[in-house]
């Protein structure tokens, strides 16, 4: 049974549904009424996935949820961790992405976190860490290149990513609408 404290929204089920069917073509313009949550972005890498959702809680606050999943040997996806961040009063998560001048650059990494993939095992060693986070992109960015994959950016400009931290720095290469490189940003 997939349980959660969020009314009408189960992160594991919704993340698996997003992996299976992809992002919807049309997102709601705002949350409220029958739309209490909306998928924002999805990244599926090598046995890792990150899903981001906008959520409206029972009190009326907006939240940005990022969930990281790992793929088991049988092919099923297991929720391994995640985080929720309250959206600021002027932060409309579903609004179109701003221009680079408004964002103070083409991209901003809005925070990264780490999760142990072995945390729920009886013998949780050795620890297998995975990093995940969200990148806020300007309207000029059409796609990003991350770990050899090209990812189309949603209209709102928020992209969730997951990676295995290593010795070398992890970077995201930003590409414009034509596919030409703009710049690259490091992820912590």
pTM: 0.86
What is the CB neighbour count within 10 angstroms for residue 19?
16
What is the CB neighbour count within 10 angstroms for residue 16?
19
- Sheet holding 77-86: strands in order across? 37-44, 48-56, 62-71, 77-86
* CB-CB contact of 80 with 68 (8 Å): yes
Mean pLDDT, consecutive 10-residue stretches, the chain (188 aa), reads: 59 93 85 84 93 87 91 89 82 86 86 71 66 91 94 92 82 93 89
Q: Phi and psi of 118, rounded to 5°?
A: -100, 10
Give the chain's radius of gyration (CA, Å): 16
Tokens of 179: 């596919």
3-state secondary structure of 102: helix
Tokens of 115: 């999760």
Tell me what pLDDT residue 150 has: 95
């Amino acid at each position: 049974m997939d349980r959660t404290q969020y009314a009408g929204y189960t992160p594991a089920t919704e993340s698996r549904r997003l992996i299976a069917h992809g992002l919807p073509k049309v997102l709601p313009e705002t949350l409220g009424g029958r739309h209490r949550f909306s998928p924002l972005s999805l990244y599926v890498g090598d046995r890792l996935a990150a899903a981001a959702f906008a959520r409206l809680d029972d009190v009326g606050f907006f939240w940005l949820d990022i969930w990281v999943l790992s793929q088991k040997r049988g092919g099923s996806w297991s929720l391994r961790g995640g985080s929720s961040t309250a959206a600021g009063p002027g932060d409309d998560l579903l609004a179109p992405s701003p221009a680079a001048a408004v964002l103070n650059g083409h991209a901003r990494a809005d925070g990264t976190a780490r999760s142990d993939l072995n945390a729920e095992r009886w013998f949780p060693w050795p620890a297998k860490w995975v990093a995940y986070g969200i990148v806020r992109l300007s309207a000029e960015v059409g796609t990003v290149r991350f770990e050899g994959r090209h990812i189309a950016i949603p209209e709102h400009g928020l992209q969730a990513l997951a990676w295995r931290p290593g010795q070398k720095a992890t970077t995201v290469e930003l590409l414009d609408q034509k596919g030409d490189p703009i710049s690259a940003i490091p992820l912590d």
